[in-house]
């Protein structure tokens, strides 16, 4: 029979030699071999003090697999420095990078919460949209309140449209009046009316009255 059984072959040597302490890993993060940078990025998940450097690497890293690893470690580290380093990247021109940031921030509810008000009031409407995107699956109990604030105050239609979409899932009955009033603030835009009606129906479904 052709099938053979072997003990698991030993891992390639190169990685064994290199140190996995902080300074060794930071050194490897600057290697010109993507594979070495990738393993170093992943191993740095055990060093929370590396968060700031990992964020800085994100801006320059062109290899998608390494970039992915940097994000993975930052999500695992999940501290204030990680959040602080990631938020400015929402302004990046690179859509893939931005979306990586959104996904990462979604998984850091507690570290992110203190920054939420500032982000929701950023002068750039794109940043506000991305912030609402973060709220889509942020496990933070304040989320419905934040979204309510957006649909009551934000002056950009797409920021509000993104928020009302989420309220269909997490809104509660006392928010219905605000949701209902939203399309009126934007000349009764047909899409916004549709989105508001859906949200209201979903919320009513939860509490028939």
Partner 1 sequence: MKQILVIDDAATVRLYVRQVLEAEGFYVDEATNGLEGLEKALSHHFDLVLCDVNMPVMDGYTTVTKFRQERTLAHIPIVMISTEAKKKDANRAFAAGANDYLVKPVNPDKLILEVRMLTGEG
Partner 2 sequence: MHGQPEPVITNEEFLKFREYFYRKTGIYFEESKRYFVDKRILERMAKTGVDSFHAYFMNLRFEASGRELQTLINAMTVNETYFFREDYQFRCMVRSMLPELTAYRAAKRPIKIWSIPSSSGEEPYSIAIWLLEYWPQVDEWDIEIVASDIDTKILDLAREGRYGTRSLQNLPPNLLRKYFKPVGNQEHQIIEDLRGSVEFTQVNLSDRATTRQYRGFDIIFCRNLLIYFDDISRREAAEVFFGALNPGGFICLGHSESMSRISSLFTVRKFPEAIVYQKPL
d(CA 36, CA 98): 24
- Window of 52-60, 62-70, 83-91, 179-187 that interacts with partner 2 by CB under 8 A: 62-70
Binder among 125, 137, 158, 178 for partner 2 (CB under 8 A): 137
Which positions ≥6 away from 27 have C-beta within 8 Å?
none
Answer yes or no whether residue 13 interacts with partner 2 by CB under 8 A: no
- Window of 49-57, 63-71, 80-88, 127-135 that interacts with partner 2 by CB under 8 A: 63-71
Using the 8-state DSSP alphabet, how is residue 159 labeled?
A: H
Which residue stretches of 107-189 are H helix? Answer: 109-112, 116-120, 125-135, 143-153, 157-170, 176-181
Tokens of 16: 């064994």
Q: Taking CB under 8 A as the rule, which mask of x and - marks residues 73-112 in contact with partner 2? A: --xx------------------------------x-xx--
d(CA 14, CA 11): 9
Answer yes or no whether residue 123 interacts with partner 2 by CB under 8 A: no
* Angle at which helices 125-135 and 95-106 cross, to 10°: 40
d(CA 191, CA 204): 20
Instruction: Catalog residues that contact partner 2 under the rule CB under 8 A.
Output: 1-12, 15, 38-39, 42-43, 64-65, 68-69, 72, 75-76, 107, 109-110, 137, 139-141, 143, 168-170, 172, 201-202, 204-208
Instruction: Catalog residues that contact partner 1 under the rule CB under 8 A.
Output: 95-96, 98-99, 102-103, 126, 129-130, 133, 136, 157-158, 161-162, 164-165, 168-169, 189-192, 194-195, 198-199
């Amino acid at each position: 029979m052709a099938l053979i059984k072997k003990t698991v072959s030993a891992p390639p040597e190169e990685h064994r030699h290199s140190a996995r302490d902080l300074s060794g890993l930071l050194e490897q993060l600057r290697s010109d071999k993507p594979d070495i940078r990738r393993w170093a990025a992943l191993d740095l998940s055990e060093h929370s003090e590396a968060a700031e450097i990992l964020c800085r690497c994100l801006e320059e890293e062109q290899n998608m697999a390494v970039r992915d690893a940097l994000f993975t470690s930052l999500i695992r580290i999940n501290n204030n420095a990680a959040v602080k380093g990631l938020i400015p990247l929402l302004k990046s021109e690179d859509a893939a990078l931005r979306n990586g940031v959104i996904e990462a921030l979604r998984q850091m509810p507690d570290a992110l919460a203190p920054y939420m008000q500032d982000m929701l009031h950023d002068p750039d409407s794109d940043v506000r949209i991305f912030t609402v995107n973060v709220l889509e699956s942020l496990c933070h109990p304040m989320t419905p309140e934040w979204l309510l604030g957006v649909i009551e105050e934000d002056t950009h239609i797409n920021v509000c449209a993104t928020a009302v979409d989420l309220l269909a899932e997490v809104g509660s009955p006392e928010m219905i009046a605000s949701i209902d009033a939203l399309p009126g603030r934007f000349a009764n835009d047909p899409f916004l009316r549709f989105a508001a009606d859906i949200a209201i129906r979903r919320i009513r479904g939860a509490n028939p009255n």
